[in-house]
């Protein structure tokens, strides 16, 4: 006999609400090359994460929910996801800011390639920093923390109950300020050495005006920047974990968890 599969309407509403929350975060979560993949792949990823959270889906009484109320809840659920996504995206933005500060001074700003996230011309150092930060996002287990944060938010914030307050905005703004300070500190050691190279080349130019120092400046500064970056790269996972902890704390505060 053919079997009929019946899906309760309340479960369908719960699925749509959780999907709206997850989709709101995937707009900003720093997955490598997420915006360059086909739309179907991104849709499958959002649906897969939603199904993984099935045990935490809210209980929705379909008989007492109108279409307008459901649409309003979906907007609030998307706001929850966007708050999580903005906080988590600060991890990649920190490394990207450090690469942007360093790229021009080291001479890498003169060579450009295609940014996998925006499909625009970007400095080669910026693209490498974005890809490297995206890999650290998975290597340090922050992807699991994001899923855990979604599960906790589903337990603590029922559908339609989230209210974005001034304190929530302050936590995200403070996190954005930390991005600038940490990004500057990431680039500062290399920038200091590059300034020393410029001073040394200027002194050599004063000693002997016949030296063609312009042809030596670019390779010297680029090689020095690569050497220092390879030397301090062992610290990047720890920095990523610390930034990730700050981002998760800001997301908890923004959601009132």
The closest alpha carbon to 49, from 19, 16, 10, 27, belongs to: 19
pLDDT class of 15 with cuts at 50, 70, 90: confident
Q: Quote the DSSP letter at residue 112.
A: E
Do the strands 112-114 and 121-123 form a parallel or antiparallel pair, or are they unpaired? antiparallel
Q: Judge whether residue 137 has pLDDT over 50.
A: yes
Across the range 114-139, mean pLDDT stands at: 71
Averaged pLDDT score across all residues of the chain = 77
pLDDT of residue 1: 45
Token duo for residue 100: 């942007």
Q: What number of helices (H) and strands (E) belong to the chain? A: 8, 2
Q: Judge whether residue 101 has pLDDT over 50.
A: yes
Cα–Cα distance for residue pair 55/36, rounded to 1 Å: 31
pLDDT of residue 92: 81
Q: Judge whether residue 75 has pLDDT over 70.
A: yes
């Amino acid at each position: 006999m053919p079997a009929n599969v019946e899906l309760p309407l309340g479960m369908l509403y719960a699925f749509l609400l959780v999907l709206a929350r997850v989709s709101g975060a995937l707009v900003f979560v720093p997955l490598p090359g997420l915006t360059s993949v086909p739309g179907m792949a991104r849709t499958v990823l959002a649906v897969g994460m939603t199904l993984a959270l099935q045990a935490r889906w809210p209980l929705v009484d379909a008989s007492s929910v109108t279409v307008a109320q459901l649409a309003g809840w979906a907007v609030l659920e998307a706001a929850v996801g966007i708050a999580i996504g903005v906080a988590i995206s600060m991890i990649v933005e920190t490394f990207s800011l450090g690469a942007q500060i360093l790229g021009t001074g080291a001479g890498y700003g003169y060579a450009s390639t295609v940014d996998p996230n925006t499909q625009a011309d970007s400095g080669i150092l910026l693209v490498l920093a974005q890809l490297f930060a995206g890999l650290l996002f998975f290597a340090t287990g922050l992807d699991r923390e994001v899923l855990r944060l979604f599960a906790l938010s589903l337990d603590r914030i029922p559908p339609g109950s989230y209210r974005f307050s001034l304190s929530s905005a302050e936590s995200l703004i403070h996190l954005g300020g930390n991005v600038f300070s940490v990004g500057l500190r990431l680039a500062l050691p290399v920038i200091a050495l590059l300034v020393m190279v410029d001073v040394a080349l200027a002194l050599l130019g004063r000693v002997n005006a016949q030296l063609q120092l312009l042809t030596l400046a670019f390779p010297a500064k680029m090689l020095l920047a690569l050497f220092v970056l390879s030397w301090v790269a062992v610290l990047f996972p720890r920095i990523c974990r610390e930034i990730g902890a700050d981002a998760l704390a800001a997301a908890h505060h923004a959601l009132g968890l």
